[in-house]
Amino acid sequence: MASVTLEHVKKIYDNKVTAVHDFNLEIKDKEFVVFVGPSGCGKSTTLRMLAGLEDISEGTLKIGDRVVNDVEPKDRDIAMVFQNYALYPHITVYENMAFSLRLRKMDNEEIHRRVCQAAEILGITEYLGRKPKALSGGQRQRVAIGRAIVRDPAVFLMDEPLSNLDAKLRNQMRAEIIMLRKRVDTTFIYVTHDQTEAMTLGDRIVVMKDGYIMQVGSPQEVFDTPKNLFVAGFIGSPQMNFLKAKLVKEGSGYSVELLGVKIPLNADQNAALANNKVGTQEITLGVRPEHTSVLFDGKQNAIECSINVNEMMGSELHLHLSTVNNDSIIVRLPTVDLTQEQRKQLSYGNKMYITFPAKVMHLFDPKTEKNLIYG
């Protein structure tokens, strides 16, 4: 068990690439934190610095109260699980799991106890005598996790442990990691580029881009109140729609105008904007596909769109629309209440109207890309 603290941590590689800029984060004991962001944003670099596999160029890294910048990986009390499993092919599953314990000169009885217990937790007892090549991808990944569990580390580091698995197995292993976390009650730091994995696993998620932290918060916080355009677009699937619009201040109230429609903001939004001293300005309006409704009759104060693509997903339709300004919008529409007549109306080329309430609108400054309310 341990907290992990990064203070002004920076990584400059030998080729002068700054992979991580001024990373500040306090991870609490037993917290599950996920680093998420697109390829190359510095997730693995940060994790490798935590593991001691990469030098820290500047800043301080603490595990518990101890500064570990210069502590050898083996003395940090952490275990890391890699994307490619990194199992030894020539020895059995049992010996793969026992390997690090033997290096530590642990007695055989204790090694046996730990390997059997980890195998039990992961449901791989029957494979202990096999070599890794005789296992499926999911089974190998369990062995890799087992090898980390037996060490009973204070901190678990996982770098994209599920990315080599097919979609179904990935979902299953994701659920297993959630259960594992309950049984192995310790600090987890998990890296992924998959926002769904981040949302479902993390107590808190750290959204990264180009070596910078863009936002830290609970999954619900980053989803509901993204601080900037990047987080808004990265978290959520299909991605948030962005439209050119205008924020208009009239007296003490604000409204958003776009495509001939005017939507007055609610009291909380008005208060926040006034507090942030925002005036009338151009904005990028963000609205999630699931927060947009389709109007079949009447079109008062609704946005006219034409249908480009209608994707049937089973329980919902994903409608790809374009506005008269050629902005594109995706709408998620549950199918359960649609009539035959309505389904017919939703075909390619037809016109339709969409609307959304003020409370689901996210307002961004087009220049700074900051959220005008929460940024």
Ligand X SMILES: Nc1ncnc2c1ncn2[C@@H]1O[C@H](COP(=O)(O)OP(=O)(O)OP(=O)(O)O)[C@@H](O)[C@H]1O
Query: Rounded to whole angstroms, how far apart are CA atoms 336 and 322?
Result: 24
> Minimum Å distance from CB 327 to ligand X?
30
Residues 38-77 that bind Mg ion (CB under 5 A): 44
Choice between 10 and 246, CB closer to Mg ion: 10
Q: What single DSSP character describes residue 283?
A: E
Choice between 85 and 254, CB closer to ligand X: 85
Sheet holding 281-287, edge to edge: 261-264, 253-258, 241-250, 281-287, 362-364
* Binding status of residue 241 toward Mg ion by CB under 5 A: no
Neighbours of 112 (CB within 10 A): 13
Nearest to 183 by CA among 158, 149, 160: 149
Instruction: Check: CB of residue 372 under 8 Å from CB of residue 280.
Output: no
Q: Which stretch binds ligand X (CB under 6 A): 13-21, 88-96, 276-284, 308-316?
A: 13-21
Q: Which stretch binds ligand X (CB under 6 A): 15-23, 95-103, 292-300, 353-361?
A: 15-23
Half-sphere exposure of 327 (CA within 13 A, CB side): 17
> Minimum Å distance from CB 6 to ligand X?
14
301 vs 255, 258, 304, CA distance in Å? Answer: 13, 10, 9
Q: Burial, 326: exposed, middle or buried (Cβ in 10 Å; 0-12, 13-18, 19+)?
A: exposed
SS3 74: helix
* Sequence-separated (6 or more) residues with CB below 8 Å from residue 321: 305, 306, 307, 308, 328, 329, 330, 331, 352, 354
* Binding at 39: pick from Mg ion, ligand X, none (beta carbon under 5-8 Å per type): ligand X
Nearest to 175 by CA among 159, 193, 162: 162
> Minimum Å distance from CB 18 to Mg ion?
16
Choice between 37 and 219, CB closer to Mg ion: 37
* Binding status of residue 13 toward ligand X by CB under 6 A: yes
Instruction: Check: CB of residue 19 under 8 Å from CB of residue 76.
Output: no
Number of residues that make up the chain: 375
- Whether the CA torsion 55, 208, 76, 131 is positive or negative: it is negative
> Minimum Å distance from CB 369 to Mg ion?
25
> Minimum Å distance from CB 157 to ligand X?
12
Q: Binding residues for Mg ion, how many (CB under 5 A)?
A: 1
Residues 29-88 that bind ligand X (CB under 6 A): 37, 39-45
SS3 369: coil
* Sequence-separated (6 or more) residues with CB below 8 Å from residue 221: none
* Binding at 40: pick from Mg ion, ligand X, none (beta carbon under 5-8 Å per type): ligand X
* Binding at 15: pick from Mg ion, ligand X, none (beta carbon under 5-8 Å per type): ligand X
Query: Binder to ligand X among 1, 17, 86, 313 (CB under 6 A)?
Result: 17
* Binding at 41: pick from Mg ion, ligand X, none (beta carbon under 5-8 Å per type): ligand X
> Minimum Å distance from CB 176 to ligand X?
22
Nearest to 183 by CA among 156, 143, 219, 144: 156
> Minimum Å distance from CB 237 to ligand X?
17
Choice between 80 and 317, CB closer to Mg ion: 80
Choice between 41 and 354, CB closer to ligand X: 41
Choice between 147 and 193, CB closer to ligand X: 193
> Minimum Å distance from CB 261 to Mg ion?
43
Q: Binding residues for ligand X, how many (CB under 6 A)?
A: 13
Instruction: Check: CB of residue 213 under 8 Å from CB of residue 207.
Output: yes
Choice between 15 and 275, CB closer to ligand X: 15
- Kind and range of the H or E run holding 233: helix 229-234
Residues 169-228 that bind ligand X (CB under 6 A): 193
Residues of this chain that bind Mg ion (CB under 5 A): 44
Residues of this chain that bind ligand X (CB under 6 A): 13, 15, 17, 19, 37, 39-45, 193
